[in-house]
Amino acid sequence: MFFEDEDVNLKRSVLILSEIEGKPISEYPNSAARDNALLEAGRDLAKINEVKIDSYGYVNFTKGIYTMGGDFKSLEEFAMAGTIEGLEELYNLGLISKETREKCRRILERSKQYLVADFPHLLHGDFGGRHIFFDGNSYTGILDFGDIRGGSQYHDLAHLRAFYPDIFETVLKGYQGYTKLPKNVKQIIAFESMLILLSKINWIVQHKIERLNKYKWVGHYIDEQVDFLFHN
């Protein structure tokens, strides 16, 4: 066991009870054991996402120990922040066509159709294959909760869909084994994945981060999701 009253980098206290063994599952080749681990991770993610917190947005730890929530009053206010700006940046960078931009705008205007949450759900935040640990034979856990926030229960699945599409379907199957999801869950996830990427592009441009080249694929991804949502 390890305890630190206040970590300099995290600016909060740290308590370590045990170590999660293994490595990120994204480092392992496909196998039956790997698929079983992804199913278990999906079930665990569903359990995490069913936790109700106090408000939407990135968890603000200055609110005190009896409050867990962000600074947004509604899901729409939080989830839509920076998305229109990100869409314009993609267009200005030449990564999407004028037609895609206009179609995407029309989809964003229908946000209430896709943004669904009966309360602020606890989210991992940037859930992906590097956060699912596997020892080569079995699932060992989910780690790295440094970006926790309150949002819709579909956010973590949407992040996985955008950044780790190769494992998305298996994790989703595990998730659905624990929680019943609506028939239009694929549309909801597609929409939220677009919001995640559009807001990320806006943040990168606003902060002048020199890693935009890593996100040139986003234009093609937005094209695909726009087409999917227009026909479903």
Give me the pLDDT at residue 64, please: 76
78 inside domain:
yes
Which of 14-18, 69-73, 123-127, 145-149 is least confident? 14-18
Structure tokens at 100: 């895609």
Provide the pLDDT confidence category of residue 13 given band limits of 50, 70 and 90.
low
Q: Are 200 and 162 in contact (CB under 8 A)?
A: no
Predicted pLDDT at 218: 96
Cα distances (Å, whole numbers) of residue 51 to 44, 54, 69, 116, 128:
12, 10, 12, 15, 19
Q: What is the mean pLDDT of residues 200-214?
A: 82
Within a domain: residue 6?
Answer: no
What pLDDT, on the 0 to 100 scale, is given for residue 18?
63
Cα–Cα distance for residue pair 155/199, rounded to 1 Å? 13
CA distance 133 to 38: 9
Q: How many structural domains comprise the chain?
A: 1
> At 181, which CATH number?
3.90.1200.10
**pLDDT band per the 50, 70, 90 thresholds, residue 17:** low
- Is 75 a domain residue? yes
- C-alpha distance from residue 114 to each of 101, 182, 229 (Å): 19, 11, 10
pLDDT of 210: 67
User: Mean pLDDT over all residues of the chain?
Assistant: 91
Structure confidence at residue 95 (pLDDT):
94
- Write out the residue range of the structural domain in which residue 42 sits: 21-230
Q: What does the pLDDT read at residue 30?
A: 95
Where would I find the beta strands (DSSP E) of 21-95? 23-24, 57-58
Task: Let me know if residue 16 belongs to a domain.
Answer: no
**Environment class of 49 (CB within 10 Å of its CB; exposed 0-12, middle 13-18, buried 19+):** buried
Specify the pLDDT at position 230. 92
Q: How far apart are CA 181 and CA 174, in angstroms?
A: 12
- Judge whether 12 lies within some domain: no
Query: Percentage of the chain with pLDDT > 70?
Result: 91
Does residue 155 carry a pLDDT above 90? Answer: yes
Q: How confident is the model at residue 197 (pLDDT cuts 50, 70, 90)?
A: very high
pLDDT band at 57 (very low <50, low <70, confident <90, very high): very high
Q: Could you report the per-residue pLDDT of 105-119, keeping only the tens digit for each?
A: 999 999 999 998 999
Residues 204-211 have a mean pLDDT of 78
Note whether residue 34 is domain-resident: yes
For residue 13, is it within any domain? no
203 domain residue, yes or no: yes
